[in-house]
């Protein structure tokens, strides 16, 4: 996807005969958050594969009783079920 954006920017620069720096700076500003979020999702997936998040859930899930409709806790709203 980034190569497509860079190619499009270069084509527009060639067609307009303008300096490429402003166009490329916009692409670089967009790419940093994308790289951050991709890295974050990879890190969260690796953390989930360790089993650390599932251990506390497996210990507390039987006491939570979330699967029963009348015992579900809604702190902000009261729904008539």
The whole-number pLDDT of residue 47 equals: 93
7 lies in some domain: no
Distance (Å, whole) CA 46 – CA 38: 12
Give domain status of residue 59, yes or no.
no
- Identify the three-state secondary structure at position 17: coil
pLDDT at 52: 93
Q: Residue 34 is part of which domain span?
A: 15-41
Number of domains into which the chain is organized: 1
pLDDT string in tens for the chain (81-residue length): 677 887 887 787 777 776 767 767 777 777 888 888 889 999 999 999 999 999 988 888 777 766 556 555 555 555 555
Answer yes or no: is 9 within a domain.
no
Residue 36 in domain: yes
């Amino acid at each position: 996807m980034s190569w497509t954006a860079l190619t499009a920017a270069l084509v527009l620069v060639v067609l307009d005969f303008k300096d490429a720096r402003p166009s490329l700076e916009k692409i670089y500003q967009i790419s940093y958050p994308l790289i951050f979020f991709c890295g974050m999702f990879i890190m969260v997936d690796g953390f989930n594969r360790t089993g650390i998040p599932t251990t506390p859930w497996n210990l507390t899930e039987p006491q939570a009783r979330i699967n029963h409709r009348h015992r579900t806790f809604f702190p902000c709203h009261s729904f008539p079920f």
